[in-house]
Amino acid sequence: MTAQELSPTDPAVGSRRSLDYRFDIVGRSRLWFSLSLAVLLVGLVSMAFSLASLGTPLRLGLDFAGGTLLDLRFEQPVTTDELRRALQEHDLGTSIIQLDTQTGQEALIRMPPLTEQERLAVEATLRQQIGPFERKLVETVGPTVGRLLLRSGLVAVLISFGLIVVYLALRFQWDYAVFAIVALLHDVVLTTGLFALLGLTVGMEVDSLFLVALLTIIGFSVNDTVVIYDRIRENLRLVSRKVSFAEVVNLSLNQTFARSLNTTLTTMLPLVAIAIFGGATLKGFAIALLIGFSLGVYSSIFIASPLLVWWRQRRYGANRDPNPLPSGAEG
């Protein structure tokens, strides 16, 4: 009998033996925690290198660092060296250039903030030395506005965390809420760390859409965690108190595993399409969501609930279920 086939009236529910389920997720908690720790260390090291080389833990995009961004599509393929030589005539040789490696015709150029006259002069030089092009996008953001956007985005993330803490504390017991927040922090920190690595290796920048992605990741992850916590709470009402809390959590995780995985994969399919075929502006947003959603389903299953089991075993003992009905279970 699988976990999905278990019913409240089955004799196994009230017996002393272990419940029947396919995967012992809680029993391999050390493995899951070690994997997260390894990714965390990679992210922290990447952020340290980024701070040393760029002055910030992440490679900041135009929205936060300020500057002028040009998105140009040339009629003929060009090279990064050609673009940099043309920019050097305006003392802009250190500008960040991202060239579409497939066609070699589309280039993203980020420069220090330029006036309209300075920008037009740069475009004239590019036309003269390299060839005709179509200007697809031009943006200019001052450093003061960039800092304001960054500050506002971080405040939005902190407020979302605070509201989620209040919601979880009211719906579940406090330890449920604490480890759900730990899982959310896990998702946000690891996503940020991996973006620091991408910034160092492939020049991936973070902009205001990255903060939007973090907020979306937080909402997605907490929803998955709440579904699992609800199933744990329901099973605590159905199984005998002779069954350990770890067994009940394992049963609940097995029952919700397929649902969580299928929901995440379905959500990620359009994001894969955006990451592959979308423009440069949306590509970073889609990649952030892909990373965050993957970490979100991972933390909901392999981090939040095993941490809850670890805490309760540490506080109450391995086989005792001190409070089978979390607050609000009857409602």
Measured distance CA(104)–CA(178) in Å, rounded: 49
* φ and ψ of 125, to 5 deg: -65, -40
Residues listed for the chain: 331
Measured distance CA(133)–CA(250) in Å, rounded: 59
Question: How many CA atoms lie within 13 Å of 37's alpha carbon, on the beta-carbon side?
Answer: 6
* pLDDT at residue number 318: 55
Looking at mean pLDDT, say which of 185-199, 243-257, 264-278 comes out highest.
185-199
Higher-confidence position of 228 and 318: 228
C-alpha separations of 263 from 121, 228, 232, 287, 296 in Å: 51, 13, 19, 18, 12
* pLDDT at residue number 23: 82
Higher-confidence position of 108 and 328: 108
Q: Is 55 left (phi over 0), alpha (psi -120 to 50) or beta?
A: left
DSSP 110: E
Contact 121, 88 (CB under 8 A): no
Residue type, 254: N
Higher-confidence position of 8 and 200: 200
Contact 146, 66 (CB under 8 A): yes
Listing DSSP states for 38-103 in one string gives: HHHHHHHHHHHHHHHHHSSSS-B-HHHH-EEEEEEEESS---HHHHHHHHHTTT-TT-EEEE-TTT
156's tokens: 């939005």
Instruction: Enumerate domains of the chain plus CATH numbers.
Output: 3-58+145-316 (1.20.1640.10), 67-141 (3.30.70.3400)
| Averaged pLDDT for residues 61-74 | 82
Q: Which of 24-38, 123-137, 146-160, 309-323 has the lowest mean pLDDT?
A: 309-323
* pLDDT at residue number 325: 43
Measured distance CA(292)–CA(217) in Å, rounded: 6
Measured distance CA(323)–CA(313) in Å, rounded: 13
pLDDT digits (tens, 9 = 90+) for 118-140: 899 999 999 999 999 999 888 87
* pLDDT at residue number 244: 83
326 pLDDT tier (thresholds 50, 70, 90)? very low
pLDDT at 14 over 70: no
Q: Which of 106-120, 144-158, 216-230 has the lowest mean pLDDT?
A: 144-158
Q: Which of 192-201, 208-217, 289-298 has the lowest mean pLDDT?
A: 208-217
pLDDT at 25 over 80: yes
Taking the CA atoms of residue 171, residue 294, residue 157 and residue 169 in that order, the dihedral angle to the nearest 10 degrees is 10
Q: Which of 39-53, 235-249, 284-298, 307-321 has the lowest mean pLDDT?
A: 307-321
Higher-confidence position of 291 and 147: 291
Mean pLDDT of the chain: 83
* pLDDT at residue number 238: 84
Q: Which of 124-133, 210-219, 319-328 has the lowest mean pLDDT?
A: 319-328
* pLDDT at residue number 35: 95
pLDDT at 51 over 80: yes
